Amino acid sequence: MNTQIYELSYDGYRLGLFPTEAEARQQAGYMPKGCYTIREWGVDGEYLTFDPTMNAVYKFSN
């Protein structure tokens, strides 16, 4: 894995992919109040990979 991408989701629905965690949090600030999840994905060629031992998951409320 050479790069990371951050997925913003709400209640299991993907809201978007962002190049940084900060941009994903910023976009959540424009969304309705609620609990959001940011999941860090590794980009391996054409594929997104998630390994819970290496990639982070952040849950927060705005």
To which residue do tokens 């424009």 refer? Answer: 30
How many distinct structural domains can be found in the chain? Answer: 1
pLDDT in tens, the chain (62 residues): 468 999 999 998 999 999 999 999 999 999 999 999 999 999 988 899 999 888 999 999 98
Residue 29 lies in domain: 3-61
Measured CA to CA, the distance from residue 4 to residue 11 in angstroms comes to: 22
Measure CA of the first residue to CA of the last residue in the chain; give whole Å. 31
- SS3 of the chain: the string is CCEEEEEEEECCEEEEEECCHHHHHHHHHCCCCCEEEEEEEEEECCEEECCCCCCCEEEEEC
The model's pTM:
0.86
